[in-house]
Structure 1
Amino acid sequence: MPTYVAFLRAINLGPNRKFAKADILTATEAAGATGVQTHINTGNVLLTTPLRSRAKVEAALEAAYEAQAGFAVPTIVYTPAELVAIADDARELSAARPDLERHYVYLLKDDPDPALVAEVEARSDDVNAIVVRERAAHLLLGPGYQAGGVDPYKTEKALRVVATNRNFNVVTTLADKWCS
C-alpha cells in the first residue's frame, strides 16, 4: 500500500479551529489509513492507504477531517519521494543564501499556473526571494525582512492555489524522519 505525507491547512490557529492530534489520528484511520503518525500539532500526518491517487487521498482525508472536526480542513498530500525532493530543494536554496533569517515553504495543493509563477518570482529582490519548484514555493527572507514584494501572506493568494506553509526545519525534519 502507498504511503503519503499529508499537511493540514489552517488548524489550531484560533479558538474555533482546534483539531487535536488524537482527533487527527482518529479521523485519518476513519478514512481507511493505517500506520498513522503525526509530528507536532500543526497538521503533519504520515499515513498508508490503499488509495492510489493523490486526489482520492486528499478527498477521503478532507471528508474524514470535516466529519471529526466540524469544519473544513484543506489537505495537501505528497508522496515520500516528493517531500524528499522539496526538502532537497530547501536545503539547496538555503545553502546558497547563508544570510537567510527565515525560510518558509508553501506546500501547494495543485500545480500553479506558469504565468503566475513567473509573476510571483519576479517580486524577488536583492534580499528576499520567492522560488517556485513544482508544488512548493520557497520564501527566502533575508536580513531585516520587511513586508514588501516578497510577502508570505500574499504568496498563496498570488499563486491562486490552496496552500499551507511550514518552515525549513519542519519540512527537512519530516523528510528525514518519515521518508528516508
Structure 2
Amino acid sequence: MPKYVAFLRAINLGAKRKFPKADIVTATEAAGGTDVETHINTGNVLLTTSLRSRAKVESALEAAYEEQAGFVVPTIVFTPAELVAIADDARELTGARPDLERHYVYLLKDEPDPALARAVEERSDAVNEVVVRGRAAHILLGPGYEAGGVDPYRVEKSLGVVATNRNFNVVTTLADKWCS
C-alpha cells in the first residue's frame, strides 16, 4: 500500500483551532490510514492507505479531520518521493545562500499558474528571494529581513492556491525520517 505525507493547514493556532496529535491520529485512522505517525504538533502526518491518488487521500483526510476537529482542515499530501525532492531543493537553495537567516517552504495543494509563480519570483531582491518549484515555494530571507516584496504571507496569497508552510528544518527532517 502506498505511503503519503500529509501537511495540515492552520491548526493549533489560537483557542478555536486546537487539533491535538492524538485526535489527528484517530481521524487519520478513521479515514483508512494505517501506520500513522505524527511529528511535532503542527500537523505533519505519515500514513499508509489503500487509496491511490493524492486527491482521494486529501479528500478522505479532510472529511475525517473536519468531523473529528469540528472545523475545516485543509490538507496537502505528498508522496515520499515528492517530499524528498522538495527537501533536496531546499538543501540546494540553502547551500547556495550561506547568508540566509530563514528559509520557509510553502507546500502547495496544486501547482500555481506559471504566470503567478513568475510574478511572485519577480518580487525577489538582492537579499530576499522566492523560488517556486512545482508544488513548493521557497521563501529565502537574508540578513536583516524586513517585510517588503518578499513577504511570506503575501507570497502565499499571490500564488492563488491552498498552502501551508514549514521551515527548512521540518521539511528536511521529515524527508530524512519518513522517506528514506
Q: Fold conserved (TM > 0.5)? A: yes
Structure 2: tracts of 5 or more residues without a match: none
One-letter amino acid of the counterpart of residue 93, structure 1:
L
One-letter amino acid of the counterpart of residue 36, structure 1:
V
SS at match of 1:120: helix
Following superposition, the deviation at residue 156 of structure 1 comes to: 1.3
Q: Does 1:157 align with 2:145?
A: no
Superposed, 1:41-120 pairs within 5 Å as 41-120=41-120
Q: CA RMSD in A?
A: 0.3
Match of 2:145 in 1: 145
Task: Work out the number of aligned pairs and report it.
Answer: 180
One-letter amino acid of the counterpart of residue 178, structure 1:
W
Match of 2:179 in 1: 179
One-letter amino acid of the counterpart of residue 128, structure 2:
N
Q: Distance in 1 between matches of 2:57 and 2:85?
A: 20
Q: Does 1:16 align with 2:16?
A: yes
Q: Distance in 2 between matches of 1:142 and 1:156?
A: 18
Q: Distance in 2 between matches of 1:67 and 1:179?
A: 29
Percent of pairs identical after alignment? 83
Q: Distance in 1 between matches of 2:58 and 2:155?
A: 22
The runs of 4+ residues in structure 1 deviating greater than 2 Å are none
SS at match of 2:47: strand
Structure 1: tracts of 5 or more residues without a match: none
Following superposition, the deviation at residue 158 of structure 1 comes to: 0.1
Q: TM-score, normalised by structure 1?
A: 1.00
Match of 1:170 in 2: 170
One-letter amino acid of the counterpart of residue 61, structure 2:
L
Match of 2:6 in 1: 6
Q: TM-score, normalised by structure 2?
A: 1.00
Following superposition, the deviation at residue 155 of structure 1 comes to: 1.1
SS at match of 1:57: helix
One-letter amino acid of the counterpart of residue 37, structure 2:
Q
